[in-house]
Structure 1
Amino acid sequence: MRVRRERAARLTMTVALGLVLSACGGAERAPAATLAIGAPAPAYAAQRMDGTPVALADHKGEAVMLNVWATWCKPCREEIPALDSLHREFGPRGFRVVGVSIDVAGDTAEIAGFARQLGASYDLWLDPDDKVSTTFRAIGVPSTALIDRDGVLRWRHMGPVRANDPALRALLDSVLN
Protein backbone atom coordinates (compact mmCIF):
# COMPACT_ATOMS: atom_id res chain seq x y z
CA MET A 1 0.00 0.00 0.00
CA ARG A 2 2.87 2.35 0.87
CA VAL A 3 4.43 1.72 -2.55
CA ARG A 4 1.17 2.62 -4.31
CA ARG A 5 0.85 5.84 -2.29
CA GLU A 6 4.42 6.74 -3.22
CA ARG A 7 3.65 6.08 -6.90
CA ALA A 8 0.50 8.20 -6.69
CA ALA A 9 2.44 11.01 -5.00
CA ARG A 10 5.16 10.76 -7.65
CA LEU A 11 2.58 10.94 -10.46
CA THR A 12 0.86 13.92 -8.83
CA MET A 13 4.19 15.75 -8.58
CA THR A 14 5.05 14.84 -12.18
CA VAL A 15 1.70 16.14 -13.44
CA ALA A 16 2.06 19.35 -11.40
CA LEU A 17 5.59 19.89 -12.72
CA GLY A 18 4.38 19.23 -16.26
CA LEU A 19 1.64 21.80 -15.89
CA VAL A 20 4.08 24.39 -14.58
CA LEU A 21 6.59 23.70 -17.33
CA SER A 22 3.95 23.73 -20.05
CA ALA A 23 2.65 27.05 -18.80
CA CYS A 24 6.19 28.39 -19.02
CA GLY A 25 6.76 26.91 -22.45
CA GLY A 26 9.50 24.60 -21.14
CA ALA A 27 7.78 21.25 -21.60
CA GLU A 28 8.05 19.35 -24.83
CA ARG A 29 4.50 18.94 -26.14
CA ALA A 30 2.82 17.60 -29.19
CA PRO A 31 1.59 20.35 -31.51
CA ALA A 32 -2.02 21.30 -30.76
CA ALA A 33 -3.15 20.35 -34.26
CA THR A 34 -2.11 16.74 -33.67
CA LEU A 35 -4.53 16.48 -30.76
CA ALA A 36 -7.57 17.99 -32.40
CA ILE A 37 -10.49 15.65 -32.95
CA GLY A 38 -10.47 14.87 -36.67
CA ALA A 39 -6.70 15.34 -37.05
CA PRO A 40 -4.16 12.53 -37.36
CA ALA A 41 -3.32 10.98 -34.00
CA PRO A 42 0.23 11.63 -32.83
CA ALA A 43 2.82 8.92 -33.32
CA TYR A 44 3.24 6.80 -30.21
CA ALA A 45 5.25 3.70 -29.32
CA ALA A 46 5.69 1.61 -26.17
CA GLN A 47 6.46 -2.01 -25.42
CA ARG A 48 4.36 -5.13 -25.06
CA MET A 49 4.30 -7.04 -21.79
CA ASP A 50 7.06 -9.31 -23.15
CA GLY A 51 9.27 -6.29 -23.82
CA THR A 52 8.95 -6.18 -27.62
CA PRO A 53 8.39 -2.75 -29.17
CA VAL A 54 4.96 -1.83 -30.47
CA ALA A 55 3.46 1.32 -31.99
CA LEU A 56 0.08 2.73 -32.91
CA ALA A 57 1.24 2.70 -36.52
CA ASP A 58 1.35 -1.12 -36.30
CA HIS A 59 -2.46 -1.07 -36.00
CA LYS A 60 -3.37 1.00 -39.05
CA GLY A 61 -6.58 -0.42 -40.48
CA GLU A 62 -7.99 -1.09 -37.01
CA ALA A 63 -9.85 1.28 -34.72
CA VAL A 64 -7.82 1.56 -31.51
CA MET A 65 -9.05 2.65 -28.10
CA LEU A 66 -5.87 3.66 -26.25
CA ASN A 67 -6.49 3.61 -22.50
CA VAL A 68 -3.93 5.02 -20.07
CA TRP A 69 -4.11 3.37 -16.65
CA ALA A 70 -2.15 2.25 -13.57
CA THR A 71 -2.55 -0.50 -10.97
CA TRP A 72 -2.87 2.05 -8.15
CA CYS A 73 -5.75 3.89 -9.86
CA LYS A 74 -9.14 3.03 -8.35
CA PRO A 75 -11.22 4.32 -11.32
CA CYS A 76 -8.96 2.27 -13.63
CA ARG A 77 -9.86 -0.84 -11.63
CA GLU A 78 -13.55 -0.04 -12.17
CA GLU A 79 -13.25 0.54 -15.92
CA ILE A 80 -11.17 -2.49 -16.95
CA PRO A 81 -14.23 -4.80 -17.10
CA ALA A 82 -16.04 -2.19 -19.24
CA LEU A 83 -13.08 -1.94 -21.62
CA ASP A 84 -12.94 -5.72 -21.85
CA SER A 85 -16.66 -5.83 -22.64
CA LEU A 86 -16.17 -3.32 -25.49
CA HIS A 87 -13.13 -5.24 -26.73
CA ARG A 88 -15.08 -8.51 -26.88
CA GLU A 89 -18.20 -6.98 -28.44
CA PHE A 90 -16.59 -4.77 -31.08
CA GLY A 91 -13.33 -6.70 -31.63
CA PRO A 92 -14.69 -8.86 -34.46
CA ARG A 93 -15.42 -5.64 -36.39
CA GLY A 94 -11.80 -4.43 -36.33
CA PHE A 95 -11.73 -2.75 -32.93
CA ARG A 96 -8.79 -3.10 -30.57
CA VAL A 97 -8.50 -1.94 -26.98
CA VAL A 98 -4.95 -1.23 -25.84
CA GLY A 99 -4.31 -0.64 -22.15
CA VAL A 100 -1.14 1.40 -21.58
CA SER A 101 0.18 0.93 -18.05
CA ILE A 102 2.20 3.83 -16.66
CA ASP A 103 3.30 1.81 -13.62
CA VAL A 104 7.01 1.94 -12.78
CA ALA A 105 9.46 -0.23 -14.67
CA GLY A 106 9.96 -3.71 -13.30
CA ASP A 107 6.34 -4.22 -12.17
CA THR A 108 5.45 -6.41 -15.16
CA ALA A 109 4.30 -9.39 -13.08
CA GLU A 110 2.15 -7.16 -10.84
CA ILE A 111 0.63 -5.43 -13.87
CA ALA A 112 -0.15 -8.72 -15.61
CA GLY A 113 -1.67 -10.21 -12.44
CA PHE A 114 -3.74 -7.11 -11.79
CA ALA A 115 -5.13 -7.07 -15.34
CA ARG A 116 -5.78 -10.82 -15.31
CA GLN A 117 -7.62 -10.55 -11.97
CA LEU A 118 -9.95 -7.93 -13.47
CA GLY A 119 -10.49 -9.92 -16.68
CA ALA A 120 -8.59 -7.81 -19.21
CA SER A 121 -8.26 -9.89 -22.38
CA TYR A 122 -7.09 -6.98 -24.53
CA ASP A 123 -3.52 -5.91 -25.36
CA LEU A 124 -1.43 -4.39 -22.58
CA TRP A 125 1.48 -2.09 -23.27
CA LEU A 126 4.05 -0.76 -20.83
CA ASP A 127 5.10 2.88 -20.64
CA PRO A 128 6.90 3.38 -17.31
CA ASP A 129 8.20 6.76 -18.51
CA ASP A 130 4.60 7.89 -19.11
CA LYS A 131 5.30 9.24 -22.60
CA VAL A 132 1.69 8.49 -23.53
CA SER A 133 0.40 11.22 -21.21
CA THR A 134 2.66 13.82 -22.79
CA THR A 135 1.89 12.63 -26.31
CA PHE A 136 -1.89 12.70 -25.77
CA ARG A 137 -1.90 15.52 -23.18
CA ALA A 138 -3.60 13.30 -20.66
CA ILE A 139 -3.68 14.73 -17.17
CA GLY A 140 -4.21 11.84 -14.82
CA VAL A 141 -5.57 8.35 -15.20
CA PRO A 142 -7.66 6.88 -16.57
CA SER A 143 -7.54 8.67 -19.88
CA THR A 144 -8.69 7.28 -23.21
CA ALA A 145 -8.35 8.16 -26.89
CA LEU A 146 -10.13 6.57 -29.85
CA ILE A 147 -8.23 6.44 -33.12
CA ASP A 148 -10.03 5.33 -36.28
CA ARG A 149 -8.83 2.89 -38.94
CA ASP A 150 -7.03 5.69 -40.81
CA GLY A 151 -5.12 6.90 -37.74
CA VAL A 152 -7.41 9.89 -37.09
CA LEU A 153 -8.20 10.92 -33.52
CA ARG A 154 -11.97 10.64 -33.05
CA TRP A 155 -12.51 10.93 -29.28
CA ARG A 156 -10.69 11.80 -26.06
CA HIS A 157 -11.99 11.13 -22.59
CA MET A 158 -10.75 11.74 -19.06
CA GLY A 159 -12.12 9.43 -16.38
CA PRO A 160 -13.51 5.91 -16.56
CA VAL A 161 -15.04 4.60 -19.78
CA ARG A 162 -18.53 3.11 -19.46
CA ALA A 163 -19.42 0.26 -21.81
CA ASN A 164 -23.09 1.27 -21.82
CA ASP A 165 -22.45 4.95 -22.72
CA PRO A 166 -24.85 5.52 -25.67
CA ALA A 167 -22.72 8.29 -27.21
CA LEU A 168 -19.59 6.13 -27.11
CA ARG A 169 -21.42 3.13 -28.55
CA ALA A 170 -22.80 5.27 -31.40
CA LEU A 171 -19.31 6.62 -32.08
CA LEU A 172 -17.87 3.10 -32.14
CA ASP A 173 -20.57 1.99 -34.59
CA SER A 174 -19.79 4.98 -36.79
CA VAL A 175 -16.01 4.45 -36.69
CA LEU A 176 -16.34 0.73 -37.41
CA ASN A 177 -18.78 1.03 -40.34
Structure 2
Amino acid sequence: MMENYISIGSFPVKIVWLAILGSALIAYGILNVKLRKEPDKKQLLDVLSNAIVICWFVWKISYVLLHPVLTFKQPFNLIYFNGGETGVVLGIIAAVLYLLRSAGKRELDRNRIFYSGILGLTIFFAVYFGAHFASETVAADGLISIFFTILAFYLYTYGSFQLKKTVLSMLVTALFFSVINNTPLGGKKEDTAAVETVATGIKPGNKAPDFDLKTIDGETMRLSDLKGNVVFINLWATWCPPCRAEMPEMVRYYNEHSSEKIEILAVNLTDSDSEKEVKQFADDYKINFPILLDTEGKAGNLYKTVSIPTTFIVDKKGIIREKHIGPMSYEMMEEFVKAAQ
Protein backbone atom coordinates (compact mmCIF):
# COMPACT_ATOMS: atom_id res chain seq x y z
CA MET A 1 0.00 0.00 0.00
CA MET A 2 1.25 3.50 -0.85
CA GLU A 3 2.45 5.65 2.05
CA ASN A 4 0.26 8.72 2.68
CA TYR A 5 3.21 11.08 3.20
CA ILE A 6 6.81 11.62 2.29
CA SER A 7 9.18 13.73 4.34
CA ILE A 8 11.02 16.67 2.81
CA GLY A 9 13.47 17.41 5.60
CA SER A 10 11.30 17.39 8.69
CA PHE A 11 8.24 18.59 6.79
CA PRO A 12 5.61 15.94 5.88
CA VAL A 13 4.06 16.29 2.42
CA LYS A 14 0.93 14.41 1.38
CA ILE A 15 1.47 12.07 -1.56
CA VAL A 16 -1.98 12.95 -2.88
CA TRP A 17 -1.01 16.63 -3.26
CA LEU A 18 2.09 15.67 -5.22
CA ALA A 19 -0.08 13.44 -7.43
CA ILE A 20 -2.54 16.30 -7.98
CA LEU A 21 0.27 18.74 -8.85
CA GLY A 22 1.95 16.29 -11.23
CA SER A 23 -1.33 15.42 -12.96
CA ALA A 24 -2.22 19.09 -13.32
CA LEU A 25 1.17 19.92 -14.88
CA ILE A 26 0.83 17.05 -17.38
CA ALA A 27 -2.73 18.13 -18.26
CA TYR A 28 -1.58 21.74 -18.72
CA GLY A 29 1.31 20.62 -20.95
CA ILE A 30 -0.89 18.49 -23.23
CA LEU A 31 -3.54 21.22 -23.41
CA ASN A 32 -0.80 23.70 -24.30
CA VAL A 33 0.22 21.45 -27.22
CA LYS A 34 -3.40 21.12 -28.36
CA LEU A 35 -3.90 24.89 -28.41
CA ARG A 36 -0.46 25.76 -29.84
CA LYS A 37 -1.84 26.91 -33.23
CA GLU A 38 -4.88 28.70 -31.86
CA PRO A 39 -4.76 32.53 -32.01
CA ASP A 40 -6.43 32.83 -28.60
CA LYS A 41 -4.22 30.21 -26.92
CA LYS A 42 -2.73 32.54 -24.29
CA GLN A 43 -6.12 33.96 -23.32
CA LEU A 44 -7.72 30.51 -23.05
CA LEU A 45 -4.93 29.17 -20.85
CA ASP A 46 -4.91 32.32 -18.70
CA VAL A 47 -8.67 32.20 -18.14
CA LEU A 48 -8.63 28.49 -17.29
CA SER A 49 -5.68 28.92 -14.92
CA ASN A 50 -7.45 31.80 -13.15
CA ALA A 51 -10.63 29.71 -12.86
CA ILE A 52 -8.69 26.93 -11.12
CA VAL A 53 -7.17 29.41 -8.65
CA ILE A 54 -10.61 30.92 -7.94
CA CYS A 55 -12.11 27.45 -7.41
CA TRP A 56 -9.33 26.57 -4.94
CA PHE A 57 -9.60 29.89 -3.11
CA VAL A 58 -13.39 29.68 -2.68
CA TRP A 59 -13.08 26.04 -1.55
CA LYS A 60 -10.52 27.07 1.04
CA ILE A 61 -12.22 30.24 2.33
CA SER A 62 -15.73 28.71 2.36
CA TYR A 63 -14.91 27.32 5.82
CA VAL A 64 -15.77 30.81 7.09
CA LEU A 65 -19.27 30.60 5.61
CA LEU A 66 -19.90 27.09 6.90
CA HIS A 67 -18.39 27.57 10.39
CA PRO A 68 -18.44 31.31 11.22
CA VAL A 69 -18.47 30.80 15.02
CA LEU A 70 -15.52 28.40 15.01
CA THR A 71 -13.61 30.71 12.67
CA PHE A 72 -14.28 33.68 14.95
CA LYS A 73 -12.99 31.73 17.96
CA GLN A 74 -10.09 30.13 16.09
CA PRO A 75 -9.09 32.35 13.10
CA PHE A 76 -6.08 30.16 12.37
CA ASN A 77 -8.45 27.33 11.46
CA LEU A 78 -8.48 28.86 7.98
CA ILE A 79 -4.87 27.77 7.60
CA TYR A 80 -5.69 24.14 8.30
CA PHE A 81 -9.26 23.55 7.12
CA ASN A 82 -11.48 24.07 4.07
CA GLY A 83 -15.14 23.86 3.10
CA GLY A 84 -15.06 20.17 2.19
CA GLU A 85 -17.45 18.89 -0.49
CA THR A 86 -19.77 21.89 -0.05
CA GLY A 87 -16.77 24.15 -0.57
CA VAL A 88 -15.89 22.30 -3.78
CA VAL A 89 -19.40 22.94 -5.14
CA LEU A 90 -19.14 26.63 -4.22
CA GLY A 91 -15.70 26.78 -5.83
CA ILE A 92 -16.97 25.24 -9.07
CA ILE A 93 -19.89 27.70 -9.19
CA ALA A 94 -17.51 30.63 -8.66
CA ALA A 95 -15.15 29.31 -11.37
CA VAL A 96 -17.99 28.85 -13.90
CA LEU A 97 -19.30 32.37 -13.21
CA TYR A 98 -15.79 33.72 -13.71
CA LEU A 99 -15.45 31.84 -17.02
CA LEU A 100 -18.77 33.20 -18.29
CA ARG A 101 -17.83 36.75 -17.30
CA SER A 102 -14.33 36.46 -18.79
CA ALA A 103 -15.71 35.09 -22.05
CA GLY A 104 -17.81 38.21 -22.52
CA LYS A 105 -15.16 40.62 -21.28
CA ARG A 106 -12.36 39.17 -23.43
CA GLU A 107 -14.63 38.36 -26.36
CA LEU A 108 -13.76 34.68 -26.22
CA ASP A 109 -15.95 31.92 -27.66
CA ARG A 110 -17.57 30.20 -24.69
CA ASN A 111 -17.64 26.92 -26.61
CA ARG A 112 -13.85 27.04 -26.90
CA ILE A 113 -13.41 27.77 -23.20
CA PHE A 114 -15.82 24.98 -22.28
CA TYR A 115 -14.11 22.47 -24.56
CA SER A 116 -10.59 23.38 -23.39
CA GLY A 117 -11.60 23.10 -19.74
CA ILE A 118 -13.26 19.70 -20.14
CA LEU A 119 -10.30 18.37 -22.16
CA GLY A 120 -7.90 19.53 -19.45
CA LEU A 121 -9.99 17.85 -16.73
CA THR A 122 -10.23 14.53 -18.60
CA ILE A 123 -6.44 14.44 -19.04
CA PHE A 124 -5.95 15.33 -15.38
CA PHE A 125 -8.23 12.52 -14.17
CA ALA A 126 -6.69 10.00 -16.58
CA VAL A 127 -3.22 10.68 -15.15
CA TYR A 128 -4.32 11.03 -11.52
CA PHE A 129 -6.32 7.79 -11.35
CA GLY A 130 -3.62 6.03 -13.37
CA ALA A 131 -1.04 7.01 -10.74
CA HIS A 132 -3.35 5.88 -7.95
CA PHE A 133 -3.93 2.54 -9.68
CA ALA A 134 -0.17 2.04 -10.14
CA SER A 135 0.41 2.59 -6.40
CA GLU A 136 -2.51 0.63 -4.92
CA THR A 137 -3.86 -1.54 -7.78
CA VAL A 138 -7.52 -0.80 -7.03
CA ALA A 139 -9.60 -2.11 -9.95
CA ALA A 140 -11.94 0.88 -9.96
CA ASP A 141 -9.05 3.33 -10.29
CA GLY A 142 -7.65 1.39 -13.26
CA LEU A 143 -11.02 1.42 -15.04
CA ILE A 144 -11.50 5.13 -14.35
CA SER A 145 -8.03 5.91 -15.72
CA ILE A 146 -8.68 3.89 -18.90
CA PHE A 147 -12.08 5.54 -19.33
CA PHE A 148 -10.66 9.08 -19.04
CA THR A 149 -7.72 8.21 -21.30
CA ILE A 150 -10.10 7.09 -24.05
CA LEU A 151 -12.33 10.12 -23.47
CA ALA A 152 -9.37 12.52 -23.56
CA PHE A 153 -8.12 10.95 -26.81
CA TYR A 154 -11.59 11.28 -28.32
CA LEU A 155 -11.91 14.94 -27.35
CA TYR A 156 -8.35 15.72 -28.43
CA THR A 157 -8.70 14.19 -31.89
CA TYR A 158 -12.39 14.08 -32.83
CA GLY A 159 -14.20 16.53 -30.60
CA SER A 160 -12.09 19.64 -31.10
CA PHE A 161 -14.01 22.74 -29.99
CA GLN A 162 -17.35 21.05 -30.69
CA LEU A 163 -19.83 21.79 -27.92
CA LYS A 164 -22.16 18.88 -28.71
CA LYS A 165 -19.39 16.31 -28.43
CA THR A 166 -18.10 17.92 -25.23
CA VAL A 167 -21.55 17.81 -23.61
CA LEU A 168 -21.97 14.21 -24.78
CA SER A 169 -18.66 13.30 -23.12
CA MET A 170 -19.91 14.78 -19.83
CA LEU A 171 -23.11 12.73 -20.01
CA VAL A 172 -21.11 9.57 -20.71
CA THR A 173 -18.86 10.40 -17.75
CA ALA A 174 -21.86 10.80 -15.43
CA LEU A 175 -23.27 7.46 -16.62
CA PHE A 176 -19.91 5.75 -16.17
CA PHE A 177 -19.54 6.93 -12.56
CA SER A 178 -23.14 6.01 -11.80
CA VAL A 179 -22.49 2.44 -12.98
CA ILE A 180 -19.11 2.00 -11.26
CA ASN A 181 -20.36 3.40 -7.95
CA ASN A 182 -23.17 0.85 -7.89
CA THR A 183 -20.97 -2.20 -8.45
CA PRO A 184 -18.51 -4.00 -6.15
CA LEU A 185 -15.71 -2.20 -8.01
CA GLY A 186 -16.76 1.06 -6.40
CA GLY A 187 -15.15 0.17 -3.10
CA LYS A 188 -12.22 -1.84 -1.82
CA LYS A 189 -12.95 -4.42 0.81
CA GLU A 190 -10.13 -6.06 2.67
CA ASP A 191 -10.40 -9.29 4.61
CA THR A 192 -9.50 -8.63 8.21
CA ALA A 193 -11.04 -11.79 9.67
CA ALA A 194 -7.73 -13.36 10.65
CA VAL A 195 -6.38 -10.44 12.67
CA GLU A 196 -3.98 -12.74 14.48
CA THR A 197 -2.01 -13.23 11.26
CA VAL A 198 -1.61 -9.49 10.66
CA ALA A 199 1.76 -8.03 11.65
CA THR A 200 1.82 -5.46 14.43
CA GLY A 201 3.07 -2.08 13.22
CA ILE A 202 2.10 1.51 12.51
CA LYS A 203 1.35 1.31 8.78
CA PRO A 204 -2.17 1.02 7.33
CA GLY A 205 -3.03 -2.68 7.33
CA ASN A 206 -0.97 -3.43 10.47
CA LYS A 207 -2.41 -4.42 13.82
CA ALA A 208 -2.21 -1.33 16.04
CA PRO A 209 0.41 -1.67 18.82
CA ASP A 210 -1.27 -1.97 22.21
CA PHE A 211 -0.56 0.44 25.07
CA ASP A 212 -2.05 1.55 28.37
CA LEU A 213 -1.87 5.03 29.90
CA LYS A 214 -3.39 7.02 32.73
CA THR A 215 -6.11 9.55 31.93
CA ILE A 216 -6.22 13.04 33.45
CA ASP A 217 -8.79 11.58 35.88
CA GLY A 218 -6.31 8.94 37.09
CA GLU A 219 -7.94 5.95 35.38
CA THR A 220 -5.98 3.49 33.25
CA MET A 221 -7.08 2.93 29.66
CA ARG A 222 -5.79 0.21 27.35
CA LEU A 223 -6.21 0.38 23.56
CA SER A 224 -7.06 -3.33 23.26
CA ASP A 225 -10.00 -2.86 25.65
CA LEU A 226 -11.69 -0.75 22.96
CA LYS A 227 -11.82 -3.56 20.39
CA GLY A 228 -15.21 -3.41 18.66
CA ASN A 229 -14.98 0.37 18.29
CA VAL A 230 -13.47 2.54 15.58
CA VAL A 231 -10.72 4.35 17.49
CA PHE A 232 -8.94 7.63 16.72
CA ILE A 233 -5.50 7.59 18.38
CA ASN A 234 -4.70 11.30 18.35
CA LEU A 235 -1.18 12.30 19.46
CA TRP A 236 -0.95 15.97 20.38
CA ALA A 237 0.37 18.69 22.73
CA THR A 238 -1.08 21.91 24.15
CA TRP A 239 1.71 24.05 22.63
CA CYS A 240 0.92 22.83 19.07
CA PRO A 241 -1.19 25.38 17.05
CA PRO A 242 -2.72 22.82 14.62
CA CYS A 243 -3.59 20.62 17.63
CA ARG A 244 -5.51 23.56 19.08
CA ALA A 245 -7.22 24.11 15.73
CA GLU A 246 -8.55 20.55 15.44
CA MET A 247 -9.82 20.15 19.01
CA PRO A 248 -13.17 21.98 18.50
CA GLU A 249 -13.76 19.86 15.39
CA MET A 250 -13.04 16.66 17.33
CA VAL A 251 -15.26 17.74 20.24
CA ARG A 252 -18.11 18.52 17.84
CA TYR A 253 -17.72 15.17 16.09
CA TYR A 254 -17.60 13.23 19.37
CA ASN A 255 -20.69 15.03 20.66
CA GLU A 256 -22.66 13.72 17.70
CA HIS A 257 -21.15 10.25 17.22
CA SER A 258 -19.91 8.90 20.56
CA SER A 259 -22.92 6.56 20.78
CA GLU A 260 -21.94 4.83 17.51
CA LYS A 261 -19.05 2.67 18.76
CA ILE A 262 -16.55 5.40 17.95
CA GLU A 263 -13.86 6.41 20.42
CA ILE A 264 -11.20 9.11 20.51
CA LEU A 265 -8.05 8.67 22.57
CA ALA A 266 -6.31 12.03 22.85
CA VAL A 267 -2.78 10.95 23.76
CA ASN A 268 -1.00 13.99 25.13
CA LEU A 269 2.80 13.87 24.72
CA THR A 270 3.20 14.90 28.34
CA ASP A 271 6.95 14.23 28.35
CA SER A 272 7.20 17.44 26.29
CA ASP A 273 4.17 19.15 27.85
CA SER A 274 2.72 19.89 31.29
CA GLU A 275 -0.03 17.97 33.07
CA LYS A 276 -1.28 21.22 34.55
CA GLU A 277 -1.51 22.79 31.07
CA VAL A 278 -3.30 19.70 29.76
CA LYS A 279 -6.00 19.89 32.43
CA GLN A 280 -6.51 23.61 31.81
CA PHE A 281 -6.64 22.94 28.06
CA ALA A 282 -9.29 20.25 28.58
CA ASP A 283 -11.44 22.68 30.58
CA ASP A 284 -11.00 25.54 28.08
CA TYR A 285 -11.93 23.39 25.08
CA LYS A 286 -14.62 21.37 26.91
CA ILE A 287 -13.03 18.12 25.74
CA ASN A 288 -15.49 15.27 26.17
CA PHE A 289 -13.33 12.27 25.21
CA PRO A 290 -10.52 10.55 27.14
CA ILE A 291 -7.22 12.43 27.43
CA LEU A 292 -4.31 10.10 28.10
CA LEU A 293 -1.03 11.30 29.62
CA ASP A 294 2.07 9.93 27.91
CA THR A 295 4.42 11.09 30.67
CA GLU A 296 7.31 8.82 29.66
CA GLY A 297 6.89 9.07 25.88
CA LYS A 298 5.84 5.40 25.69
CA ALA A 299 3.03 5.81 23.13
CA GLY A 300 4.89 8.55 21.25
CA ASN A 301 7.87 6.23 20.75
CA LEU A 302 5.67 3.21 20.01
CA TYR A 303 3.90 5.11 17.21
CA LYS A 304 7.11 6.87 16.10
CA THR A 305 5.52 10.31 16.35
CA VAL A 306 7.58 13.06 14.73
CA SER A 307 5.03 15.65 13.56
CA ILE A 308 1.94 16.52 15.58
CA PRO A 309 -0.93 16.23 15.50
CA THR A 310 -0.75 12.70 14.13
CA THR A 311 -3.82 10.48 14.18
CA PHE A 312 -4.14 6.74 13.59
CA ILE A 313 -7.61 5.47 12.68
CA VAL A 314 -8.07 1.91 13.96
CA ASP A 315 -10.99 -0.25 12.86
CA LYS A 316 -13.19 -2.46 15.06
CA LYS A 317 -10.77 -5.37 14.72
CA GLY A 318 -7.75 -3.37 15.82
CA ILE A 319 -6.30 -2.80 12.34
CA ILE A 320 -4.88 0.60 11.39
CA ARG A 321 -6.83 1.88 8.39
CA GLU A 322 -5.39 5.38 8.05
CA LYS A 323 -2.54 7.51 9.32
CA HIS A 324 -3.21 11.22 9.15
CA ILE A 325 -0.56 13.87 9.83
CA GLY A 326 -1.98 17.31 10.54
CA PRO A 327 -5.26 18.61 11.98
CA MET A 328 -8.54 16.83 11.25
CA SER A 329 -11.82 18.49 10.38
CA TYR A 330 -15.27 17.12 11.20
CA GLU A 331 -15.70 16.08 7.55
CA MET A 332 -12.35 14.27 7.52
CA MET A 333 -13.36 12.28 10.60
CA GLU A 334 -16.60 11.25 8.90
CA GLU A 335 -14.67 9.96 5.89
CA PHE A 336 -12.12 8.13 8.04
CA VAL A 337 -14.88 6.33 9.95
CA LYS A 338 -16.65 5.32 6.72
CA ALA A 339 -13.41 3.85 5.41
CA ALA A 340 -12.82 1.97 8.68
CA GLN A 341 -16.31 0.39 8.94
TM-score, with length taken from structure 2: 0.39
Which residue is equivalent to 2:213?
A: 46
State the one-letter code of the partner of 1:72: W
Which residue is equivalent to 2:110?
A: none
Which residue is equivalent to 1:98?
A: 265
Residue 233 of structure 2 contacts residue 311 of structure 2 at CA under 8 Å; is this kept in 1? yes
Which residue is equivalent to 1:81?
A: 248
| 1:25-36 superposed matches below 5 A | 34-36=201-203
Q: 1:142 aligned to 2:309?
A: yes
How much does 1:33 deviate?
Answer: 5.4
1:110-147: CA deviations, max 9, x gaps?
Answer: 21111221221111100022222221122121111111
Which residue is equivalent to 1:163?
A: 330
TM-score, with length taken from structure 1: 0.73
Residue 63 of structure 1 contacts residue 147 of structure 1 at CA under 8 Å; is this kept in 2? yes
Which residue is equivalent to 1:120?
A: 287
Change in CA separation of 1:104 and 1:34 when aligned onto 2, cut-off 3 Å: closer
Q: Distance in 1 between matches of 2:279 and 2:235?
A: 15
Which residue is equivalent to 2:337?
A: 172
Q: Distance in 2 between matches of 1:109 and 1:79?
A: 20
Residue 271 of structure 2 contacts residue 297 of structure 2 at CA under 8 Å; is this kept in 1? no
Going by fraction, where is strand more abundant, 1 or 2? 1
Structure 2: runs of 5 or more not aligned: 1-9, 11-198
Structure 1: runs of 5 or more not aligned: 1-15, 17-31
1:43-90: CA deviations, max 9, x gaps?
Answer: 122111133322101111111101111111111111111111221222
State the one-letter code of the partner of 1:40: K
Aligned residue among 212, 215, 238 for 1:71:
238
Aligned sequence identity (%):
26
Q: Distance in 2 between matches of 1:106 and 1:142?
A: 14
Q: How many residues align?
A: 144
1:144-175: CA deviations, max 9, x gaps?
Answer: 1111111111111111111123xx42331243
Which residue is equivalent to 1:110?
A: 277
- Tell me the secondary structure at the aligned position of residue 34 of structure 1: coil
Question: Over the residues paired in the alignment, what is the CA RMSD in angstroms?
Answer: 2.2
Aligned residue among 222, 230, 251 for 1:55:
222
Going by fraction, where is helix more abundant, 1 or 2? 2
Greater gyration radius: 2
Of structures 1 and 2, the one scoring higher in RCO (CA 8 A, sep 6+) is 1
Change in CA separation of 1:61 and 1:119 when aligned onto 2, cut-off 3 Å: same
